[in-house]
Amino acid sequence: MKRKQDTSFRVEAATELMPFLLSKLGGMTRTSVKQLLSQRRVTVNAGIQTRHDTPLKAGDKVQVLQGRGNIELRHPKLRVIYEDDALIVVEKKNGLLTVPYNPKSSEMTAYSILKEYVKKQSRSATVHVVHRLDRETSGVLVFAKSAELQEYMRTYWKQLVTKRTYAAVVEGHLDKTEGTITTWLTEDSHTGMVYSSPKDDGGQKAITHYKVINATSIGEGDQEMPISLVELNLETGRTNQIRVHMQSIGHPVIGDRKYGHGNEFSPIDRLCLHARTLEFIHPMTEKKVRFETPLPKEFSKAITEKTK
């Protein structure tokens, strides 16, 4: 008996994955399509996609694979949002290190989780860190499947990345609804703290563009605290850049124990910084790819508390 062939479709106009599949797979319900996605049986331009709201553009190739797809990663702190033969793109939750501080450490990290995940697919498979997020920062992370590709992406990261957008909940209400912060950052080799200077003092030039999305307050009475949800686009990617820059203008990121007040004045029990969007040139296809994750629920709840 012949094996059923995989089904392929060409996208003719910009849309999202869910409505596209519903229009092409006659009779399937949204629940059935979500099941296909969770089983890792849908690819876009040969990369596995699990999000139903993945944006599609004209010319994209969508494929529905017969049988079950690759082994699914099930972990509360890490979710695969894209995978192909070259890359794995994940959403990391806060509280999880990207890689261990000490190579001999047995602490669970995004790297160790993915290392075990790829080994289940192939004993010879490897995974390599391309860039990092702080332990308490959540959001999009990219890993390479070969050391050669890792080296290439690290070397040309600035040229490959076309957009990096973060979301942050910060203390206070900003005077301007949008602007650009430009300073020179220097890291203290003894303390690990990064210091900001408005003038060139020999440090690394750092540029952050910000835009206020919403402003409200949390708490009641004497405990009321003004907060703002801010979108931040990085023109440079320095160590702790966003956290230091927001502190430098008097609006530290909520939950920041290193550059702010931690959770002293906030009921939100985490660092409120999330790497929401990452757009870059895929090193193998040379086409632009974009990955976006939802705003964390803690952010949404806090920022809408008094603006309903």
CA angle 257, 260, 266 (to 5 degrees): 80
Which member of 85, 134, 175, 256 is catalytic?
Answer: 134
Pair of tokens at residue 211: 């835009």
- Please, what's the b/e burial string for 130-143 (b: 16 or more CB within 10 A of its CB; e: otherwise)? bbebbebbbbbbbb
188 is catalytic: no
User: DSSP strand E in the chain: where?
Assistant: 7-10, 15-16, 42-44, 47-49, 55-56, 61-64, 78-83, 87-92, 128-129, 138-144, 161-171, 178-187, 194-197, 204-218, 225-234, 273-281, 288-292
Cβ(225)–Cβ(217) under 8 Å? yes
Q: Per this entry, what is the length of the chain? A: 308
The Cα-based distances of 15 to 23, 199, 254 in angstroms read: 11, 46, 35
Could you give the 3-state DSSP secondary structure of residue 57? coil
Give the span between the Cα atoms of 293 and 51, in whole angstroms: 9
Neighbours of 245 (CB within 10 A): 27
Q: How many whole angstroms separate alpha carbon 145 and alpha carbon 119? A: 11
- How far is it, in rounded angstroms, from Cα 296 to Cα 135? 15
Catalytic residue list:
134
